[in-house]
Amino acid sequence: GAGVSQTPSNKVTEKGKYVELRCDPISGHTALYWYRQSLGQGPEFLIYFQGTGAADDSGLPNDRFFAVRPEGSVSTLKIQRTERGDSAVYLCASSLTPMRGEGSYNEQFFGPGTRLTVL
Amino acid sequence: GESVGLHLPTLSVQEGDNSIINCAYSNSASDYFIWYKQESGKGPQFIIDIRSNMDKRQGQRVTVLLNKTVKHLSLQIAATQPGDSAVYFCAENTASGGSYIPTFGRGTSLIVHP
Protein backbone atom coordinates (compact mmCIF):
# COMPACT_ATOMS: atom_id res chain seq x y z
CA GLY A 1 0.00 0.00 0.00
CA ALA A 2 1.03 3.63 -0.40
CA GLY A 3 2.98 5.02 2.48
CA VAL A 4 4.29 8.51 3.16
CA SER A 5 6.32 9.75 0.22
CA GLN A 6 8.84 12.56 0.13
CA THR A 7 10.40 14.34 -2.81
CA PRO A 8 13.09 14.83 -3.77
CA SER A 9 14.97 11.98 -2.12
CA ASN A 10 18.17 14.01 -2.36
CA LYS A 11 18.71 17.73 -2.75
CA VAL A 12 22.05 19.45 -3.13
CA THR A 13 22.06 23.22 -3.01
CA GLU A 14 24.42 26.07 -2.46
CA LYS A 15 24.63 28.22 0.62
CA GLY A 16 22.15 31.07 0.44
CA LYS A 17 19.70 29.34 -1.90
CA TYR A 18 16.02 28.61 -1.28
CA VAL A 19 14.72 25.03 -1.16
CA GLU A 20 11.34 23.34 -0.95
CA LEU A 21 10.84 19.82 0.33
CA ARG A 22 7.56 18.02 -0.31
CA CYS A 23 5.67 15.47 1.74
CA ASP A 24 2.71 13.38 0.57
CA PRO A 25 1.06 11.82 3.62
CA ILE A 26 -0.98 8.64 3.69
CA SER A 27 -4.41 9.36 2.24
CA GLY A 28 -6.90 10.30 4.93
CA HIS A 29 -4.31 11.13 7.58
CA THR A 30 -5.17 14.45 9.16
CA ALA A 31 -2.01 14.95 11.21
CA LEU A 32 1.37 15.64 9.59
CA TYR A 33 4.74 16.11 11.25
CA TRP A 34 8.13 17.35 10.06
CA TYR A 35 11.42 16.33 11.68
CA ARG A 36 15.09 16.92 10.98
CA GLN A 37 17.71 14.22 11.55
CA SER A 38 21.39 15.02 11.62
CA LEU A 39 24.05 12.35 11.20
CA GLY A 40 24.27 10.10 14.22
CA GLN A 41 21.32 11.73 15.98
CA GLY A 42 17.67 10.98 16.52
CA PRO A 43 14.99 12.92 14.66
CA GLU A 44 14.27 16.40 15.99
CA PHE A 45 10.70 17.72 15.88
CA LEU A 46 10.12 20.80 13.72
CA ILE A 47 6.39 21.36 13.19
CA TYR A 48 3.05 19.54 13.38
CA PHE A 49 -0.11 20.18 11.34
CA GLN A 50 -3.63 19.22 12.18
CA GLY A 51 -5.50 19.65 8.92
CA THR A 52 -4.36 22.88 7.27
CA GLY A 53 -3.18 24.63 10.39
CA ALA A 54 0.11 24.40 12.22
CA ALA A 55 -0.81 23.20 15.71
CA ASP A 56 2.74 23.35 17.03
CA ASP A 57 5.68 25.00 15.28
CA SER A 58 7.89 25.27 18.33
CA GLY A 59 10.61 23.13 16.76
CA LEU A 60 11.34 25.40 13.81
CA PRO A 61 14.88 26.64 14.49
CA ASN A 62 14.46 30.18 13.10
CA ASP A 63 12.42 32.26 10.68
CA ARG A 64 14.25 30.86 7.67
CA PHE A 65 12.14 27.74 8.06
CA PHE A 66 8.48 27.71 7.11
CA ALA A 67 5.97 24.98 6.28
CA VAL A 68 2.54 24.96 4.71
CA ARG A 69 -0.25 22.48 4.17
CA PRO A 70 -2.84 24.51 2.23
CA GLU A 71 -5.35 21.75 1.48
CA GLY A 72 -4.77 19.57 4.49
CA SER A 73 -2.93 16.90 2.56
CA VAL A 74 0.44 17.59 0.88
CA SER A 75 2.87 19.69 2.88
CA THR A 76 5.90 21.70 1.81
CA LEU A 77 8.80 22.61 4.07
CA LYS A 78 10.51 25.76 2.84
CA ILE A 79 14.00 26.86 3.83
CA GLN A 80 15.26 30.30 2.86
CA ARG A 81 18.91 31.41 2.67
CA THR A 82 20.15 27.91 3.35
CA GLU A 83 23.21 27.45 5.53
CA ARG A 84 25.65 24.55 5.71
CA GLY A 85 24.27 23.70 9.13
CA ASP A 86 20.88 22.98 7.53
CA SER A 87 22.34 19.84 5.95
CA ALA A 88 20.40 16.88 7.33
CA VAL A 89 17.72 14.36 6.47
CA TYR A 90 14.28 15.94 6.67
CA LEU A 91 11.62 13.41 7.66
CA CYS A 92 7.89 13.69 7.34
CA ALA A 93 5.35 11.55 9.20
CA SER A 94 1.58 11.33 9.19
CA SER A 95 -1.01 9.82 11.47
CA LEU A 96 -4.71 9.14 11.10
CA THR A 97 -5.53 11.67 13.76
CA PRO A 98 -3.30 13.40 16.27
CA MET A 99 -2.86 11.54 19.50
CA ARG A 100 -4.97 13.07 22.22
CA GLY A 101 -3.62 13.48 25.70
CA GLU A 102 -6.00 10.97 27.23
CA GLY A 103 -6.60 8.86 24.18
CA SER A 104 -4.83 6.05 22.49
CA TYR A 105 -1.79 6.59 20.37
CA ASN A 106 -2.28 7.03 16.66
CA GLU A 107 0.91 5.69 15.14
CA GLN A 108 3.04 8.08 13.14
CA PHE A 109 4.13 6.60 9.82
CA PHE A 110 7.38 8.04 8.54
CA GLY A 111 8.49 8.68 5.00
CA PRO A 112 12.01 7.82 3.79
CA GLY A 113 13.17 11.42 4.14
CA THR A 114 14.85 13.99 1.93
CA ARG A 115 18.61 14.27 2.32
CA LEU A 116 19.52 17.95 2.04
CA THR A 117 23.13 18.91 1.45
CA VAL A 118 24.10 22.58 1.52
CA LEU A 119 27.48 23.24 -0.04
CA GLY B 1 35.18 10.54 7.35
CA GLU B 2 33.06 10.65 10.46
CA SER B 3 34.08 12.75 13.44
CA VAL B 4 34.40 11.43 16.94
CA GLY B 5 31.05 11.78 18.67
CA LEU B 6 29.02 10.82 15.63
CA HIS B 7 29.47 7.12 16.28
CA LEU B 8 26.37 5.62 17.82
CA PRO B 9 26.54 3.27 20.79
CA THR B 10 26.65 -0.18 19.27
CA LEU B 11 25.38 -3.54 20.46
CA SER B 12 26.74 -6.57 18.65
CA VAL B 13 25.01 -9.93 19.16
CA GLN B 14 24.85 -13.37 17.60
CA GLU B 15 21.72 -14.54 15.84
CA GLY B 16 19.42 -16.24 18.31
CA ASP B 17 20.70 -14.34 21.34
CA ASN B 18 18.50 -11.97 23.32
CA SER B 19 19.27 -8.26 22.97
CA ILE B 20 18.74 -5.50 25.51
CA ILE B 21 18.90 -1.87 24.44
CA ASN B 22 18.83 0.80 27.12
CA CYS B 23 17.70 4.40 27.09
CA ALA B 24 17.69 7.20 29.66
CA TYR B 25 15.09 9.94 29.33
CA SER B 26 15.17 13.40 30.78
CA ASN B 27 11.66 14.72 31.43
CA SER B 28 10.00 13.29 34.52
CA ALA B 29 6.69 14.69 33.22
CA SER B 30 6.78 12.49 30.11
CA ASP B 31 3.90 10.07 30.26
CA TYR B 32 4.23 8.12 27.05
CA PHE B 33 7.22 6.34 25.56
CA ILE B 34 7.86 4.69 22.21
CA TRP B 35 10.61 2.55 20.76
CA TYR B 36 11.40 2.99 17.06
CA LYS B 37 13.53 0.96 14.63
CA GLN B 38 15.30 2.75 11.81
CA GLU B 39 16.93 0.89 8.94
CA SER B 40 19.43 2.57 6.67
CA GLY B 41 17.78 4.95 4.21
CA LYS B 42 14.36 4.66 5.82
CA GLY B 43 12.31 6.58 8.32
CA PRO B 44 11.76 5.32 11.88
CA GLN B 45 9.25 2.53 12.34
CA PHE B 46 7.11 2.12 15.46
CA ILE B 47 7.93 -1.02 17.46
CA ILE B 48 6.22 -0.80 20.82
CA ASP B 49 4.93 1.81 23.24
CA ILE B 50 4.31 2.08 26.96
CA ARG B 51 2.46 4.54 29.17
CA SER B 52 3.88 5.87 32.40
CA ASN B 53 1.29 3.99 34.48
CA MET B 54 2.85 0.71 33.36
CA ASP B 55 6.27 -0.77 34.04
CA LYS B 56 6.26 -3.54 31.44
CA ARG B 57 4.65 -4.24 28.10
CA GLN B 58 5.16 -7.18 25.78
CA GLY B 59 4.78 -7.51 22.05
CA GLN B 60 5.85 -10.10 19.56
CA ARG B 61 9.47 -10.94 20.49
CA VAL B 62 9.86 -7.51 22.13
CA THR B 63 9.39 -6.30 25.69
CA VAL B 64 9.68 -2.75 26.97
CA LEU B 65 10.49 -2.04 30.60
CA LEU B 66 9.99 1.37 32.20
CA ASN B 67 11.61 2.49 35.44
CA LYS B 68 10.27 5.94 36.27
CA THR B 69 12.32 6.23 39.44
CA VAL B 70 15.56 6.40 37.50
CA LYS B 71 14.01 7.57 34.22
CA HIS B 72 15.14 4.52 32.30
CA LEU B 73 13.65 2.48 29.46
CA SER B 74 14.83 -0.76 27.99
CA LEU B 75 13.89 -2.74 24.91
CA GLN B 76 14.39 -6.48 25.00
CA ILE B 77 14.39 -8.42 21.74
CA ALA B 78 14.11 -12.17 22.05
CA ALA B 79 15.86 -14.55 19.63
CA THR B 80 17.43 -11.71 17.69
CA GLN B 81 17.51 -12.15 13.92
CA PRO B 82 19.69 -10.56 11.22
CA GLY B 83 16.64 -8.58 10.12
CA ASP B 84 16.65 -6.86 13.50
CA SER B 85 19.90 -5.09 12.60
CA ALA B 86 19.08 -1.38 12.65
CA VAL B 87 19.33 1.73 14.81
CA TYR B 88 16.89 1.77 17.71
CA PHE B 89 15.57 4.99 19.25
CA CYS B 90 13.54 5.56 22.34
CA ALA B 91 11.27 8.60 22.36
CA GLU B 92 9.63 10.33 25.31
CA ASN B 93 6.42 12.09 24.44
CA THR B 94 4.81 15.23 25.76
CA ALA B 95 1.34 16.47 24.87
CA SER B 96 1.17 19.61 22.72
CA GLY B 97 -1.46 21.05 20.40
CA GLY B 98 -3.69 18.00 20.70
CA SER B 99 -0.96 15.51 19.90
CA TYR B 100 2.00 13.85 21.51
CA ILE B 101 5.31 15.25 20.26
CA PRO B 102 8.24 12.84 20.55
CA THR B 103 11.70 13.76 21.75
CA PHE B 104 14.07 11.13 20.42
CA GLY B 105 17.14 9.82 22.16
CA ARG B 106 20.42 9.43 20.31
CA GLY B 107 19.96 5.84 19.24
CA THR B 108 21.74 2.52 19.54
CA SER B 109 23.00 0.56 16.57
CA LEU B 110 22.17 -3.14 16.82
CA ILE B 111 24.30 -5.48 14.72
CA VAL B 112 23.20 -9.11 14.50
CA HIS B 113 25.78 -11.58 13.27
CA PRO B 114 24.48 -14.72 11.51
Question: pLDDT per residue over B12-60, tens digit each?
Answer: 999 999 999 999 998 888 888 999 999 999 999 999 999 999 999 999 9
Q: What is the mean pLDDT of chain B?
A: 90
Instruction: Render pLDDT for A104-115 as a digit per residue (tens, 0 to 9).
Output: 567 899 999 999
What does the pLDDT read at residue B1? 34
- The CA-CA-CA angle for residues A73, A75, A3, to 5°, reads 65
What does the pLDDT read at residue A106? 73
Instruction: Render pLDDT for A59-89 as a digit per residue (tens, 0 to 9).
Output: 999 999 999 999 999 999 999 999 999 999 9
Rounded Cα gap, residues B44 and B55, in angstroms: 24
What does the pLDDT read at residue B4? 37
Judge whether B73 is closer than 8 Å to chain A, CB to CB. Answer: no
Contact B2 A55 (CB under 8 A): no
Residue of A44, A48, A112 lying closest to B43 (CB–CB): A112
On the question of pLDDT at B6 being above 70, the answer is: no
Instruction: Spell out the residues 6+ positions from residue A63 whose beta carbon is closer than 8 angstroms to its own.
Output: none
Residue of B89, B93, B101 lying closest to A42 (CB–CB): B89
Judge whether A103 is closer than 8 Å to chain B, CB to CB. Answer: no
How sure is the predictor about B2, in pLDDT bands with cuts at 50, 70 and 90?
Answer: very low
**CB burial readout A84-99, b (16+ within 10 A) else e:** eebbbbbbbbbbeebb
